[in-house]
Amino acid sequence: MREVAVIAFAQTRHTDHDEGLIDFELIHPVIQEVKERTGLSRFGFTCSGSCDYLAGAPFSFVSALDSLGAWPPISESHVEMDAAWALYEAWVRLQHGDVDSALVYGFGKTSMGDLREIMTLQLDPYYLAPLGLDQVSFAALQANAYGAGRAELDEIVRRSRADGRSNPHALDLDDPAGDEFEVAPLRPYDVAPITDGAAAIVLAAGDLARELAERPAWIMGIAHRIEPHYLGMRDLRRSPSTEAAGRAAGVGKGPVDVAELHAQFSHEELILREALELPAGTVVNPSGGALAANPVMATGLIRIGEAASRILDGGAGRTVAHATSGPCLQHNLVTVLEA
Amino acid sequence: MGNRCAVIGVGQTRYQTKRRDVSIAGLVREAALRALEDAGLTFKDIDAVVIGKAPDLFEGVMMPEAYLADALGAAGKPMTRVHTAGSVGGSTALVGASLIQGGVHDRVLVVAFEKQSESNATWALSTHLPFSASLVVGAGGYFAPHIREYMRRSGAPDHIGTLVAVKDRQNALKNPYAHLKIPGINRQMVESTPMLWEPIRYLETCPSSDGACAMVLASEDKVTGTPAWVHGTAMRSEPMARADRDTVSPQAGKDCAADVYRQAGITDPRREIDVAEVYVPFSWYEPMWLENLGFAAEGEGWKVTEAGSTALDGDIPWNASGGVLSSNPIGASGLIRFAEAAQQVRGMAGEHQVDGARTALGHAYGGGAQFFAMWIVGAHKP
C-alpha cells in the first residue's frame, strides 16, 4: 500500500456542558490549527464524521462545511459514523495515488440531548428499540457477561481520570467514589462522561508527509470489521471484530508502546486489551481515553490523533489506536502507527 | 483514479409509496440479493459493504448500518455508512468504487435505501437548530426560488417544466421498477395539478418512495458477466453560506463535471455521452443541469428540452428510467442514477434501453445544491 502518515492533529478543549457554540464555531478552531501547523490551506480530499441525532436536526455536517472555507469547491465526503471511519475513507482515497493530502474531522455535542436515550435509536427499530433498551443497560449486559472485577474497573477509571486531569483537552474529573450503580454492575463513573468537542487530522502521503512533518506517524495498517447486531448472536465476553481488525492491521507484528482504546465503559478496556493481545508493557490511554472525554463522533478519531501524537512528539515508536461504533463494541477499527 | 473498477451486478426493488410487506432490513436485502444474483455471486464473495441513505430522521433509525449489518451479510467484514445529503446514493457508489480503485478490496457491495413510509421526509427536513431557523418547508420550498431565478435569467417559457414532467413519466411506463406510472400522462394533466411551491406543480415534483438499490463492484481480475467499466469518478462540495455562491448553476457542479469528463476523456458531453441519468427531483432541474453539466450553453438548456433532445428517442436521452421524478427513495435516488447508467452501457436496461449506449453519466446532488457526485461508465475497458 502507499505510504500515508498522520502529520497533524488538533482537538478542542472538550467541555462537559454546552458552551453555546454552534457546530461551525466548534470545528473552525481545530481546522485552522491543523492548517497552520501543516502550512496547507487546500487538501486533495476531505472527509468528516458526525451524527444528525446528536444535533437533533438533519444535515448537521452541512453547516460544518462552512467552517472549511470550501471555495473553490472541494472534493469531500462524509460518514454518519465516528470520524475514525472518515479517516479510513481518506486513507483509501490516498491509495489512488492522484492526491497527496487529506483533511479529516469529527465533532459532537452530547450535551444537547439525552445521549442514553438517543443511542437507543441505533437499535433494530422493530424488535429492540421499542423495548427501550438503552446504551448503559446494553453495556452492563456485556460487563456482566465478561465478569470484570470491581477493583480492576475502579483502577481503570482512577487511572483514566488521573491521566485526563493532566491532559489539557480532557475533562477534570475526580477520582471515582461512591457505591451506587448506574446499571449493575456499572457505576456512574464506569460510563464515559457527556462531552462536547471536535478534532481534526491531516493525512499526507510519501514525500509530502516527510516534507511537512519532522516525524510523521506512518499508518502501517488500518482495518475495520463489524459484527452481528443482535447480542444473542455474539459472545459478549470477547470482541471478535477487534481481534480480526487487529490481525488485519498487523498489531502483533511488533511492540506496542502506546495503545489508545475507544472504551466508553471501563470494562470495554479489558475486552479490547485481550482482543488486541496487547503486551504487558503497553501504556493504555495516556490521554485519559473516552472515560475522561467523550465527544461522540470525534472520540475514535481522537484515539488515532493521540496515538499519532505520541509518535509525532518523539515519545513513542509504535502505537495502536482503536475506534468503536454500535452497541457493545459491534464495529471496531484498528490503526497501527509507526515512526 | 487508481485501479480499474467495474459494475458487475445491479439490483433494485420496485419503488412504491409504502412497502408494508418488508422491514427496512428486508428492503435492503431484497436489492442486495438481486445484485448478487445478477453478478452470479453470494454474500460470501463480498469483501466489504458500503451503505448510504439520507438523514437518519427519515426513518427514525440512528446510524442504521449497525442494525443492517446482519441483513447485508456484513458480519465479519468492513462496513461503511455514507451520508452526503441528497447526493448520498452517488457518493455511496463512489466510496465503494474507491475501495477497489485504491486496491483495498476486490468485490464490494454498495447499497442505498430510503423507506419514506416510516416517517415524513418533508418535516424531517424542516427541523432546524433553534439558532438557525428555516423560512422554508421541505426541499420544494428551498428550490422553488432557484427555479424562478433560472426562468428569469434564461427567459424560458413557463411550459418547459411541464415537458420534463411528461417526458420522464412516459419513460417510467417502460421501467418495471418505477413508482409513478401514469398512463396517458400529458401536459394538460400536469398543468391541472395544484401549485405546491410556485412555479412547481404537484406533478412536477418527485414522489415519496420506499425502495433500495444495490450494486456489486469488482476489480479487473474479478470481473464476471457483462461489466460496466468506471471511466471517471468525482465529488465536489461547496459551502451553503457563501455570499456570492451561484445556487442556480453551482460551481461545485461545474467543477465535478469537468473533473469526471477529464478522467473519461470527454470534451463534448452532448456528443460523446450516449445517455445520462441525472438527479432531477423537480422538473425544471433538467434544463438547469443541462447547462451546469455542459450539455447546453448558459441560458440554452430549456431549448434542448423543448426540442425533445432529452427524450428516449432524442439525441441525448436524459433519465430514460423515468428518473427521480418517477421514483424517489431519497437516499437511494443517486445510486439508482449510477446503477441505471451502468445498466444502459451493459445493454441491460430492458424496455428503456437506449440503443447502442456505450458511455453514460450518473449524477446526484444534494444539500442546498452544494454536494455533487458523478461517474462516467462505459461498455469498453478504460
Cα A278 to the chain's mean position, in Å?
18
Q: pLDDT, tens digit, for every residue of B261-315?
A: 999 999 999 999 999 999 999 999 999 999 999 999 999 999 999 999 999 999 9
- CB-nearest to A95 from B2, B67, B78 is B2
A22 has a pLDDT exceeding 90: no
B-contacting residues of A 37-96, CB under 8 Å? 46, 51-53, 55-59, 61-63, 65-66, 68-81, 85, 88-89, 92-96
Determine the pLDDT at residue B121.
78
Q: Which of A22, A52, A333 to mutate to test the interface with B (most CBs of B within 10 A)?
A: A52
Cell numbers describing residue B319: 433519465
- One-character DSSP codes across B239-286: -TT-TT--SSS-HHHHHHHHHHHHHHT-S-HHHH-SEEE---SBTTHH
Residue B246 has pLDDT above 80, yes or no: yes
Domain with CATH 3.40.47.10 in chain A: 4-113+194-212, 118-191+217-338
CA dihedral of residues A303, A82, A216, B77 (deg, nearest 10): 100
**Among candidate residues B194, B211, B209, the one with its CA nearest the CA of residue B28:** B211
Give the three-class secondary structure for B39: helix
Q: How far is A278 from chain B (nearest CA, A)?
A: 21
- pLDDT recorded at residue A64: 82
- Nearest residue to B338 via CA among B13, B100, B91: B91
Helix, coil or strand: residue B375: strand
The interface predicted TM-score of the complex, written ipTM, equals: 0.97
Residue B315 backbone dihedrals phi, psi, to 5 degrees? -80, -20
pLDDT for B123 equals 74
How large a percentage of chain B has pLDDT more than 70? 97
Closest of B114, B158, B134, B178 to residue B321, by C-alpha:
B178
Looking at the domain A4-113+194-212, which fold is it?
Peroxisomal Thiolase; Chain A, domain 1 (3.40.47)
Distance in angstroms (rounded) separating the CA atoms of residues B75 and B59:
23
The tens digit of pLDDT for each residue in A179-229 reads 999 999 999 999 999 999 999 999 999 999 999 999 999 999 999 999 999
Non-local (6+) Cβ contacts of B71 within 8 A are B25, B26, B28, B29, B32
Which architecture characterizes domain A118-191+217-338 according to CATH? 3-Layer(aba) Sandwich (3.40)
**pLDDT for residue A269:** 98
pLDDT for position A114:
92
Q: Is A131 on the interface with B (CB under 8 A)?
A: no
What is the model's pLDDT at position B244?
87
What is the longest distance spanned by two Cα atoms in chain A?
57
Q: Tell me the three cell numbers of residue B259.
A: 473533473
pLDDT value of residue A290:
98
d(CA A99, CA A43): 8
Q: At what angle do helices B88-101 and A83-94 cross, to 10 degrees?
A: 50
pLDDT digits (tens, 9 = 90+) for A122-149: 999 999 999 988 999 999 999 999 998 9
User: What pLDDT does B353 receive?
Assistant: 98
- In terms of Cα–Cα distance, which of A69, A105, A25, A100 is closest to A302? A105
Task: Name residue A45's amino acid.
Answer: F
Residue carrying C-alpha cell 446499571: A183
Rounded to a whole number of angstroms, the CA Rg of chain B reads 19
Mean pLDDT computed over B21-27: 97
Residue A178 region by backbone torsions, left for phi larger than 0, else alpha for psi between -120 and 50, else beta: left
Q: Given an 8 Å threshold on Cβ–Cβ distance, is A228 in contact with B75?
A: yes
Q: A269, A277, A272, A250: which is closest to A335 by C-alpha? A: A250
Distance CA A331, CA A274 (A): 16
Q: Which of B78, B35, B27 is nearest to B342 (CA)?
A: B35
Task: Enumerate residues 6+ apart whose C-beta is below 8 A from A303.
Answer: A84, A260, A261, A262, A289, A290, A321, A322, A323
What domains can you pick out in chain B, each with its CATH number?
A: 5-118+208-222 (3.40.47.10)
Check residue B129 and give its pLDDT.
59
Q: What is the mean pLDDT of chain B?
A: 95
pLDDT bracket for residue A309 (50, 70, 90): very high
Judged against a pLDDT cut of 60, whether residue B133 lies above it is answered with no
Query: Shortest CB distance from A97 goes to which of B2, B77, B241?
Result: B2
The rounded Cα A71 to chain-centroid distance in angstroms is 29
What are the DSSP calls for B56-110, one per residue? GGGTT-SSTHHHHTTTTT-BTS-EEEE-BTBTHHHHHHHHHHHHHHTTS-SEEEE
Inter-chain residue contact A66 with B60, CB threshold 8 Å? no
